[in-house]
Amino acid sequence: MRRWCRVLGWLAVAAWLSFGGWAAAAPQEAVPGAGPGAQRAAVRLQTSTPARKGLVADLPSPGQQQGTSQALRIVLGLTALAVLPALLVCLTSFLRIVIVLSMLRHALGMPETPPNPVVIGLALFLTLFTMAPVLHQVNHQAFQPFMDGTLAMDAAYERGAGPLREFMVRQTREEDLALTVELSHARPPASLAEVSNVQLIPAFMLSELRAAFQIGFVVWLPFLLIDLVVSASLMSLGMMMLPPSTVALPLKILVFVLVDGWALLLKALVGSFH
């Protein structure tokens, strides 16, 4: 608080000095044949005239207003980049894909392999594959017209949200949508067009989590069987001191490679979106 008061004090002193120097530098000519009162009035008129001119000169011109709008667009763009990770998780297929890939690592018994950057990068590319038609519609209907200046921001938002809402509605279960409507304490909508984004987005995320867990269970089941077979074999051989994961891990990797597990998993993930 003291620091801000000190800063404000220095700003006040600087403003006083600048205005004081400005007033002192103004020409003061004596009016011939006039008394002291008239001369003082003339001095006040001369010192006030530059200030009025300065106020008029400080008004923004049309070019400056256009520069302000460009700066506002830059600020909005930077804000959009800041919230882009949250939008990527909440509004696209990224959530389902990254959860399934993470569950695959745990099913194989390698929680850190592949590393997180590899998993996220693969999930991003698969998200681009699945969201390509939606992104093309958003770019063609909303983004390009807005950048060209032929479409206002509100209209661009409405047009861009349309394809994205259609995608989320196709992936959302009716039960999840009814749950979010009930939790929001809102009146049940008569149609999907009346469903707000606040109700649709969490319902979409719940449906994505459910679908990801279903796919993850199917992926995990074969590796669980390998763990059971290896554990039973080691128990029957009396090798109780040998950890089952030491033998099961290479067998899991071998089976996964032999059945071309990566191709099967990626095809199943991309094909799960409708």
Residue pLDDT, tens place only, 59-118 = 455 555 555 567 777 777 777 777 777 777 788 889 999 999 999 999 988 888 889 999
The rounded distance, in Å, linking the Cα atoms of 11 and 99 is 54
Q: What is the pLDDT of residue 118?
A: 92
In sequence order, the 6+-apart residues with CB closer than 8 A to the CB of 240 are 234
Q: What is the pLDDT of residue 182?
A: 86
Neighbours of 264 (CB within 10 A): 12
Q: What is the pLDDT of residue 211?
A: 92
Q: What is the pLDDT of residue 258?
A: 92
Q: What is the pLDDT of residue 57?
A: 42
The rounded distance, in Å, linking the Cα atoms of 205 and 92 is 9
The rounded distance, in Å, linking the Cα atoms of 103 and 99 is 6
Q: What is the pLDDT of residue 59?
A: 46
Which residues in the chain land under pLDDT 70? 1-69
Q: Treating both helix axes as pointing N-terminal to C-terminal, what angle do 94-108 and 84-91 enclose, rounded to 10 degrees?
A: 80
The rounded distance, in Å, linking the Cα atoms of 174 and 40 is 83
How many residues in the chain? 274
Neighbours of 119 (CB within 10 A): 17
Pick from 30, 62, 55, 57: nearest CA to 43: 30
Using CA of residue 164, residue 170, residue 176, residue 179, what is the dihedral sign?
Answer: positive
- Whole-structure pTM value: 0.67
Q: What is the pLDDT of residue 98?
A: 93
Q: What is the pLDDT of residue 21?
A: 42
Q: What is the pLDDT of residue 220?
A: 92
